[in-house]
């Protein structure tokens, strides 16, 4: 089993910042269109982080023109250029699926207070 861990570690990225459910993140995605490559940004709230090695993923939800959009990103995918943590949210659970049922002002997440 040690060799499997070693192979997985070689495919994992060390530059992914730590974030958890409730945080707002900007995911910079590399989009390849034919020959050209450009960066697309997907900003939203993290619904959940699925922990693991190479198979860890996270789900980001945003509301685009009144329509809720969710995307699941593999944490260590080479398609992700970088992940930027915009703000940390104050939530009580690690899977904030209840956000799907809320809209407008109710769907806001309180930001975490950091005491100096």
Partner 1 sequence: MPKTLGLLGKKVGMTRIFSDDGSVCPVTVIAAGPCPIMQIKSVDKEGYSALQVAFEEVPERKVNRPERGHQAKAGKGFFRHTVECRIDNAGEYEVGQELTVDMFKIGDTVKVSGTSKGKGFQGVMKRWNFGGQRASHGAEKVHRSPGSVGNATFPGRIWKNKKMPGHMGARNVTLPSVEVIDVRPEENIIVVKGQIPGPNNGLVMIRKKN
Tell me which residues touch partner 1 (CB under 8 A): 1, 3-4, 7-8, 11, 53-55, 74, 76-79
- Residue partners of 66: CB distance under 8 A and separation at least 6: none
The least CB distance from residue 106 to partner 1, in Å, is: 36
Nearer to partner 1, 55 or 70 (CB): 55
Beta bridge partners of 94: none
Nearer to partner 1, 72 or 102 (CB): 72
Residue 11 and residue 62 in contact, taking contact as beta carbons nearer than 8 Å: no
The least CB distance from residue 61 to partner 1, in Å, is: 22
Alpha helices, DSSP H, located in 1-116: 2-10
Nearer to partner 1, 54 or 111 (CB): 54
Residue 74 and residue 53 in contact, taking contact as beta carbons nearer than 8 Å: no
């Amino acid at each position: 089993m040690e060799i499997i861990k070693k192979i997985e570690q070689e495919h994992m990225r060390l530059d992914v910042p730590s974030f958890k459910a409730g945080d707002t993140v900007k995911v910079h995605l590399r989009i390849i269109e034919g020959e050209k490559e450009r960066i697309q940004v997907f900003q939203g709230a993290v619904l959940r982080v699925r922990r693991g090695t190479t198979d860890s993923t996270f789900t980001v939800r945003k509301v685009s023109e009144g329509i809720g959009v969710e995307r699941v990103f593999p944490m260590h995918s080479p398609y992700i250029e970088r992940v930027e943590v915009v703000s940390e949210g104050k939530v009580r659970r690690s899977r904030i699926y209840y956000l799907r049922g809320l809209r407008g002002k109710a769907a806001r997440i309180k930001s975490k207070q950091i005491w100096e």
